[in-house]
Amino acid sequence: MFDSATKPRLQRSHGQAAVAFEGARLKGLVQRGSAKALLPHVRGVPEVVFLNTSGGLTAGDTLRYGLDLDAGAKVVATTQAAERAYRAEGEAARVSVAHRVGQGGWLDWLPQETILFDRARLHRETTVDLAEDAGCLLLEAVVLGRAAMGETLHDLHFSDMRRINRSGKPVFLEPFLQNSNLLAKGPRGALLGSARAFATLALCAQGAEDAVGPARAALTVPGVQAAASGFDGKCVVRLLAEDGWPLRQQILQLMGALRRGAPPPRVWQT
């Protein structure tokens, strides 16, 4: 007999997608649950597009993406659309991204933005493990609600850890936390000013400092505050915007600068 006092057990979404390359050749593919990996036909460097078929993340959902690139492999990877974290009752949704890049390899990890809705609960961890002479470009972009829909966030817990290791040692480490306590202090209390969209791009490779000049020259989109710095084999660019649209336009310009004119992934062009 149904007891109205007992909360129903809600269905949760779980997914894993892992792709391995040997040079430009696909070596392995694993897909489970709601996570899929698409490999569009493109010229030159292979592209991988990860997809969450559940349509978004809520309480208790788990999602795992991973790339394993053998020596010399070069891959561009992204997500098919913006990931959405919806209202979550109880435990948080969890996302784990773990990529490995072998000797002489290169990865552009360029996921589309994550949109957080009011009462979202999300824990995400992104790790890129580089061999000694491998390189990567990492992007993370976040939008706090959709301005065009008049959405305002009052209750939120979002923890995000971004890490790049080289030969097992961390060379880029960026923990981020946004929660209800910070939101209660207002945007400035959370060090975002009036921004509701923000992003970080980190280029890690030998001589990456030389990309600071082109990156700064590309920071021309109105409505976006930005700064670029270079040090110790890294070029890091941070962006703040009052909405997701100008942030996206600025990211596209930076992609061209940091990727030496290479076009963005096909899904970013639509």
Structure tokens at 258: 């940091």
| Model confidence pLDDT, tens digit, residues 112-150 | 999 999 999 999 999 999 999 999 999 999 999 876 666
What pLDDT, on the 0 to 100 scale, is given for residue 109? Answer: 98
Residue 77 token pair: 């990877």
Q: What angle do CA 266, 107, 220 make, to 5 degrees?
A: 60
Interval 217-237: pLDDT, tens? 999 999 999 999 999 999 999
**Which amino acid appears at position 168 of this protein?**
G
pLDDT at 152: 74
Q: Is residue 1 part of a domain?
A: no
Residue 59 domain-assigned (yes or no)? yes
Domain-located, residue 188 = yes
In eight-state DSSP terms, residue 72 is: T
Residue 103 lies in a domain: yes
Look up the pTM and report it. Answer: 0.92
Q: Identify whether 266 is part of a domain.
A: no
Mean pLDDT score across all residues of the chain: 91
* Lowest mean pLDDT across 10-19, 53-62, 75-84, 186-195: 186-195
Instruction: Give the whole-angstrom CA distance, residue 130 versus residue 137.
Output: 11
- Give the number of domains in the chain: 1
Q: Give yes or no for a contact between 109 and 80, defined as CB atoms under 8 angstroms apart.
A: no
Instruction: Determine the average pLDDT of the residues in 164-168.
Output: 97
2 found inside a domain = no
189: three-class secondary structure by DSSP: helix
Distance, in Å, from the CA atom of 124 to the CA atom of 160, rounded to the nearest integer, reads 5
Q: Are 126 and 161 in contact (CB under 8 A)?
A: yes
**Full residue range of the structural domain in which residue 32 is found:** 14-261
- Is residue 4 a part of any domain in this protein? no
How is residue 117 written in tokens? 């809705």
CA distance 107 to 150: 36
Asked, for residue 132, whether it belongs to a domain, the answer is: yes
